Amino acid sequence: MKFVQIIDYKTVRFDDMNAVMDKWVEQTKGRRTTGHALTGKDRTDSNHYVDIVEFPSYEEAMKNSHLPETDKMFQEMVALCDGMPSFTDLDVVREEQLNAATARRFFHEIAAGGNLDAIGEVFAADYIDHDIANEEESETGMDVIRRDLTMWRGAFDFTFELDRQITEGDDVVTLWTWSGKHKGDFQGIPATGEQCTMTGTTIFRYEDAKIKEGWWHFDMMRLMRQLGAM
């Protein structure tokens, strides 16, 4: 079970606190068990900070705390704080990665499922699209997605298998496998009835909970070979 520790503290020496943390990260490389960490600053109190540190499990957190560098880091941290920091230990009982869920909704419900009316719920109005299949370096507007999906859905009956997703900050990377039956004209190639597959990677950048920018990389040459065009 994933474990999270919340550290609540006040300091007027945040830059020095950052330096302590950076030194600990460097010294514990290859041995620390921390999965993810972030620091938040109180908007109403500029000296108030909260660290949220994730671990794969409570047991892994304990291994991390027993590192000699961790104890030294804690002592240096306390010396920089106004008073003693408070610690809250949490077992994670529910976790939602909302941006990743939105990406999955796009692939399954909108692209494969055909619910194009939901495009405006998922994409920003000024969405920027980068697609290797298009001649332009980039295009703007959610209508780009509607146009491209209409073209693909007219040419193929297809599904997506989402092989892997990675989230970092405002970015979601999805590695996918596409499978489709060629039923209509595609780039001048009449319907062949061929069952085709290709793999690809899509990176979505989010802003205000909507997809603001997308990068598409996929094996178009493999698809064209299966359609007999190469």
Distance of alpha carbon 200 from alpha carbon 174, whole angstroms: 8
- 164-208 pLDDT, tens digit per residue, is 999 988 999 999 999 999 999 998 999 999 999 999 999 999 998
What pLDDT is recorded for position 13? 95
Hey, what are 124's tokens?
A: 């920003």
What residues does 217 pair with on adjacent strands? 201
Separation CA 132–CA 205 (nearest Å): 17
Q: Give the pTM.
A: 0.71
Q: What is the CATH number of domain 98-226?
A: 3.10.450.50
Q: Are 211 and 129 in contact (CB under 8 A)?
A: no
Domains 3-91 and 98-226 belong to one CATH topology: no
pLDDT computed for residue 79 by the predictor = 95
- Residue 132: per-residue pLDDT: 82
**Can you name the CATH fold of 3-91?**
Alpha-Beta Plaits (3.30.70)
So what's the pLDDT on residue 137?
78
Residues of the chain with pLDDT under 70: none
Report domain extents, the chain. 3-91, 98-226
| pLDDT at residue 184 in the model | 95
Answer for the pair 175, 201: CB distance below 8 angstroms, yes or no: yes
Residue 68: enclosing H or E segment and its boundaries? helix 68-80
Q: Which residues pair with 30 in a beta bridge?
A: none
